[in-house]
Amino acid sequence: MSAVSQRTWGGRFAESPAEIVRQFTESVSFDWRLYRQDIAGSIAHAKGLAKVGIITKAEARKIERGLRAIQKRIEAGQFQWDAALEDVHMNIEAALGSVGQKLHTARSRNDQVTTDLRLWCRETGRETVVAIRELMRALVELGEKNVAVVIPGYTHLQRAQPVLLAHHLLAYVEMLARDAQRFGAGLAVQCPLGSGAIAGGTLRLDRLFVARQLGFCEITRNSMDAVGDRDYVLDYLYAAAVTGLHLSRLAEDLILWSTAEFGFIRIGDAYTTGSSLMPQKKNPDVCELVRGKTGRLYGNLVAVFTMLKGLPLTYNRDMQEDKEPLFDSADTLLASLRVMADMLRHVQVNKSRCEAAASDPMLLATDLVDFLVKKGMPFRQAHHAVGALVAESEKTGTPLPQLAGRKYGAAAARVFDVWRALAARLAVGAPSPKYVAAQLARWRKLLG
């Protein structure tokens, strides 16, 4: 056979692609990562062909054995990927040799690639959820280690009201729980195999049988939609972008907390880096990179969105551009989740710095308003009265509790006991020590 006809699609061509075209169009340099899914898909397809009598059971078994041997070679690093064979699909089929001659019956790379990619997203989605849960666990652990630490809560990055540090950390646990759900929701449940290139084929297949082999519970209902659909890629990328956003905010909080100005935490030396010039520096580079990498996660989502928009139905080669952003987002996100979980286990909380910040009586000005409201003063009037007291405190330097005591009696001054104030926050979702402890216990149990 000539080099041209050896290509799986070489029959109608008189010339091989130009070298520059070969380099430009190949995808095996990155889509080789789909090899496990490709092999699983091919085994299921071969069994399906045997089930309806297109190939014999013996042929299917031979194909399966061949594919498993190829997988072993790939995993042992002994497989030679050949860019001349374009992509992972044709590399594996070619490696099967003569056994593989019948494998591609009633199949196209168009339904093959979207099957592989759905499986990849499903598996990687699960792996991502595992990494998210590990980070949630690390946050819960840090909260548990520091249950008795109060910090100021901030709005506009101005001190607002006291909260437990654990409450702040649990806010991230809630975000990450939503993230984990988002990854679960985007998992493709429909198997596209049998859709062929665009319009199925004339050979009768048992599509549901094949789908079940691969763990799909349904089959796609429209062959054109099936081969042109990359929504599940967008779902993964969107879920990754939102998770990145949450990680970035967490990173930002940790960066602020580790400054000399805040001094709430110390990040373990092994999780920071130094400066080549300033010997005293200890920089939170891990957090900064996590924050910075979020840009890629957004970029990858936008790249695939943009690549897909305006494509006429159905498959277009543009869609090969879905993989690198997808792989990059998965790699970036998994690495960020893992390093954050590790780093949190090496964070020391400086309790006295936290306490000093949280003992600012201004944080409880709102509690004094509530105190006056309970005494029967209309809220707006109480807000105004306390505002005036705050102004006086700032002007005269007299602490707010003292002014409150003078004006409204000793009970008003007692409002400024931070632990009493926290315990009084009885609403579900508010940081009373009792509620926060219950939340820590709840998450501990859910996360195992």
Of 98, 156, 276, 352, the active-site residue reads: 156
- Answer yes or no: are the C-beta atoms of 47 and 53 closer than 8 Å: no
Please say which residue, 320 or 432, places its beta carbon nearer to ligand ARG: 320
Binding part of the chain for ligand ARG, among 145-153, 277-285, 312-320, 402-410 by CB under 6 A, reads 312-320
Token pair in block for residue 158: 């101005």
Alpha helices in 214-317 (DSSP H): 223-228, 231-257, 285-308
Asked about 45 being catalytic, the answer comes back as no
Assess 113 for contact with ligand ARG (CB under 6 A): yes
Cα–Cα distance measured from residue 8 to residue 16, given in angstroms and rounded to the nearest whole number: 12
| Choice from 7, 27, 298, 382 touching ligand ARG (CB under 6 A) | 27
Assess 87 for contact with ligand ARG (CB under 6 A): yes
| Choice from 42, 71, 320, 439 touching ligand ARG (CB under 6 A) | 320
SS3 per-residue string spanning 136-195: HHHHHHHHHHCCCCEEEEEECCEEEEEEEHHHHHHHHHHHHHHHHHHHHHCCCCEECCCC
Token pair in block for residue 12: 């109608």
Query: Residue 163 to residues 67, 167, 224, 270: CA-CA distances in angstroms?
Result: 58, 7, 54, 29
Burial of 306 (0-12, 13-18, 19+ CB in 10 A): exposed
Tell the smallest beta-carbon distance from residue 202 to ligand ARG (Å). Answer: 19
Find all residues with CB under 8 Å of 369, minimum gap 6, and list them. Answer: 379, 382, 383, 386
Assess 161 for contact with ligand ARG (CB under 6 A): no
Assess 229 for contact with ligand ARG (CB under 6 A): no
Helix (H) or strand (E) holding 266: strand 265-267
Assess 110 for contact with ligand ARG (CB under 6 A): yes
Assess 182 for contact with ligand ARG (CB under 6 A): no
Please say which residue, 120 or 264, places its beta carbon nearer to ligand ARG: 120
| Choice from 319, 386, 421, 436 touching ligand ARG (CB under 6 A) | 319
Binding part of the chain for ligand ARG, among 106-114, 157-165, 247-255, 394-402 by CB under 6 A, reads 106-114
By CB under 6 A, the residues from 348 to 367 that bind ligand ARG are none
Q: What is the DSSP letter of 32?
A: G
By CB under 6 A, the residues from 375 to 434 that bind ligand ARG are none
Closest CA to 47 of 68, 35, 62, 69: 62
Please say which residue, 319 or 403, places its beta carbon nearer to ligand ARG: 319
Token pair in block for residue 234: 């967008």
Asked about 108 being catalytic, the answer comes back as no
Please say which residue, 137 or 323, places its beta carbon nearer to ligand ARG: 323
Of 2, 5, 29, 275, the active-site residue reads: 275
Tell the smallest beta-carbon distance from residue 110 to ligand ARG (Å). Answer: 5
Please say which residue, 31 or 328, places its beta carbon nearer to ligand ARG: 31
Find all residues with CB under 8 Å of 422, minimum gap 6, and list them. Answer: 150, 162, 163, 164, 431, 432, 433
Residue positions annotated with a catalytic role: 156, 275
Chain residues that interact with ligand ARG, rule: CB under 6 A = 27, 31, 87, 109-110, 113, 315, 317, 319-320
